[in-house]
């Protein structure tokens, strides 16, 4: 498997932002480790500040369901490799605060089902990245 590198696909970046937002806000509290992990993700994927700021504005008025549905639509335009990469990021984010909330598990399961990505592939890829120590998540 080749290493995950920055992806300039707008659908991928925005889909990833939608799901990362849901994951870190689903338990009602964003701790410092989650904030740092999101910042690391932005750097790793080279998501421009303007893109992130526009995204932040757009989700303020949306429900969790709308954010989820938009994220699914965006990721459905991605390659299988991009979908896997996004879900690996989500899995790594879910581990960052040492407390996986029930809603985080649900989000991951629904995301796996909607994108047809195999959980075993996510775990394998996440473990490979962990061995390479890519970012805080």
pLDDT tens track for 20-62: 999 888 878 788 998 999 999 999 999 999 999 999 999 999 9
Return the domain boundaries, the chain: 10-132
Count CB atoms within 10 A of the CB of residue 8: 10
Per-residue HEC secondary structure of the chain comes to CCCCCCCCCHHHHHHHHHHHHHHHHCCCCCCHHHHHHHHHHHHHCCCCHHHHHHHHHHHCCCCHHHHHHHHHHHHHCCCHHHHHHHHHHHHHHHHCCCCCCHHHHHHHHHHHHHHCCCHHHHHHHHHHHHHHCCCCC
Convert the pLDDT of each residue in 66-95 to its tens digit: 999 999 999 999 999 999 999 889 888 888
What dotted CATH number matches 10-132? 1.10.3680.10
User: Is the pLDDT assigned to residue 3 strictly greater than 80?
Assistant: no
Q: How far apart are CA 38 and CA 44, in angstroms?
A: 10
Angle made by CA atoms 80, 115, 127, in degrees to the nearest 5: 65
CA angle 8, 106, 25 (to 5 degrees): 60
The arithmetic mean of pLDDT across residues 109-132, rounded, is: 79
């Amino acid at each position: 498997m080749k290493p995950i590198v920055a992806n300039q696909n707008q659908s991928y970046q925005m889909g990833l932002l939608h799901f990362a937002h849901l994951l870190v806000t689903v338990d009602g509290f964003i701790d410092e480790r989650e904030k740092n992990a999101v910042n690391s993700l932005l750097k790793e994927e080279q998501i421009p500040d303007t893109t992130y700021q526009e995204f932040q504005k757009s989700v303020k008025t949306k429900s969790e369901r709308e954010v989820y549905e938009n994220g699914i639509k965006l990721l459905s335009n991605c390659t299988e490799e991009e979908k896997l990469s996004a879900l690996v990021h989500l899995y790594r984010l879910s581990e960052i605060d040492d407390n996986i909330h029930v809603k985080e598990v649900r989000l991951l399961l629904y995301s796996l089902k909607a994108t047809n990505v195999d959980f075993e592939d996510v775990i394998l890829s996440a473990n490979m990245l962990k061995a390479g120590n890519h970012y805080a998540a």
